[in-house]
Amino acid sequence: MAESNSVVTTSPRSLDEGRQAIPEYRRLMVEPEKCTGCRTCELFCSLKNQGEVNPARSRIHVVRSQTDGVITTVPIVCQQCDDPLCMAMCPAGALSRNLETFAVVVDTDKCLGCRTCVEVCPFGAPSVDPRTGKSDKCDLCGGDPTCVKYCSQEAIKFVFAEEESMTRKRDMADKYLEHLRTSSARVV
């Protein structure tokens, strides 16, 4: 990936300057209850970014789990963290912030393929491309995410970070209130 004026390095000061330059940035928001597990997002992501339909080379990964006979699928995407561990911990400095999209991007020329970013990400978003051996992660398709366009269930959305944060807070409040209701019903 070529160097650009729109990329910052890992220093916290530059990151703060980047935040000031883009006060309202966007990120992907997943609504797991809408995901059917069709994996269309993986197919179109790999086609757009790798030039081939190959889910193993996708930058989004649909994870399937089964508990008590109930199958759940969740698309795992980069959260484009405000203070990303992957960027801070990369020994080669291969990860940086794109100021136009606010996405954390990989410079494959610098990447060692050491998997540090994969290991430190609390969301499991980065992966190592099986063909190149280099780190690969969502770069928001330059600000026009392909996965969002092709998700027929609208389980993946491209929203302003503040909207995503408020949605998560509301969801957590609803879960907490439901917990209180069911707890108090058992006590009576």
Q: Is there a domain that residue 187 lies in?
A: no
Q: Is there a domain that residue 165 lies in?
A: no
Q: Output the domain CATH number for residue 120.
A: 3.30.70.20
- Cα separation, 117 vs 113, whole angstroms: 9
Q: Is there a domain that residue 42 lies in?
A: yes
For the chain, what is the domain count?
1
Work out the average pLDDT over 135-143: 96
Q: Is there a domain that residue 186 lies in?
A: no
Q: Is there a domain that residue 185 lies in?
A: no
Instruction: Please tell me the predicted confidence (pLDDT) of residue 161.
Output: 79
Q: Is there a domain that residue 182 lies in?
A: no
pTM of the model: 0.76
The residue segments making up the domain with residue 131 are 7-160
Interval 97-106: pLDDT, tens: 999 999 999 9
Q: Is there a domain that residue 179 lies in?
A: no
Q: Which two tokens stand for residue 4?
A: 């650009």
Interval 75-120: pLDDT, tens: 999 999 989 999 999 999 999 999 999 999 999 999 999 999 999 9
